[in-house]
Amino acid sequence: MNFTDITEDDEKAPLIEQRADPYIYYHTDGYYYFTASVPEYDRIEIRRAWFLKGLKDAEPFVIWRKHSDGPMSWHIWAPELHYINNKWYIYFAAGRAEDPWWIRTYVLENDSPDPFSGEWVEKGELKSEWDSFMLDTTTFEHKGKHYAVWAQKRQERTENSALYIAEMENPCKLKLPQTLLSVPEFDWECRGFKVNEGASVLKRNGKIFITYSASATDASYCMGLLYADENADLLKAESWKKSDKPVFVTDPAKKIFGPGHNSFTCNRDRNQDYLVYHARPYAEVDLPNALYDPNRHCWIKRISYDKKGFPLFQ
């Protein structure tokens, strides 16, 4: 193991404190880029480092701040940084100051090779098939096509959020209709709130894996798993299977409570995958106000795989 890799000792403490919904992207320029929700929910910042551990002390750079009112003026959540067709994009969720829970997904674009330079342009709302609570959008490429996966309140409004997938017409527009992937149905998905959110994609061992988070954002928060064959039609609901048990849950012995809203990255040699996730170091939190507890820290841990090629997180 290279000294720059993540070790067992590194897994015992947060990588970055008070950064929820962490997203790490390893770019072709050799840098690791990091973004996440900040406790104030009022801005989007990025940082970068040559090694994963360097992100801890890397200087945050604010690339955008919330509006004073109207769309994108409250609850700036879960930014993700993607590089698509030689441009940088950030997908994020935001509400309105006059209606904080009017959450929708928005897009920023930067055509500079360096995301710390150039201009971040607001490209507007990423619109789905109907208008409702929508957040935690991620994108991925597979066999020459780009897809988006996100959480949204169904038209039937029978739960807080469900997971959907659609192909992308371009980085700022979905190619509809969308496909329902998962709804909260098991007990571990419905504790406190009925939630499926925070999807992240991992392509390994002939499969497309989608992790997601479920239940309220206290110690009940946990991770579930969807998977499909890499040759399947990803827009067909029947292509996807769902684990009936969570794959990553609270571990009091390690002082990890409510793990979830993860992303994936790898070491510089690309031969070790890592799970990047947030969790609190304690269980006691006031559920109605859990989102305003700032101590959801970014943690990172190594991923192993079982004999069938499935990722192991716990």
Q: Which residues are catalytic?
A: 21, 197
Taking alpha carbons only, the member of 175, 198, 176, 195 closest to residue 187 is 195
Residue 290 contacts residue 249 (beta carbons within 8 Å): no
Whether omega for the bond prior to residue 177 falls within 30 degrees of 0, making it cis, is: yes
Query: Cα separation of 16 and 31, whole Å?
Result: 17
Determine whether 303 is exposed, middle or buried from the number of CB atoms within 10 Å of its CB (0-12, 13-18, 19+): middle
Beta-bridge partner residues of 71: 96
Q: What one-character DSSP code corresponds to residue 28?
A: T
Q: Report how far Cα 156 is from the mean position of its chain's Cα atoms.
A: 25
Question: Phi and psi (nearest 5°) for 189?
Answer: -95, -5
Torsion of the alpha carbons at 96, 82, 177 and 231, rounded to the nearest 10: -150
Torsion of the alpha carbons at 89, 105, 241 and 207, rounded to the nearest 10: 0
Query: Cα separation of 246 and 215, whole Å?
Result: 11
Residue 73 contacts residue 103 (beta carbons within 8 Å): no
Three-class DSSP category at 8: coil
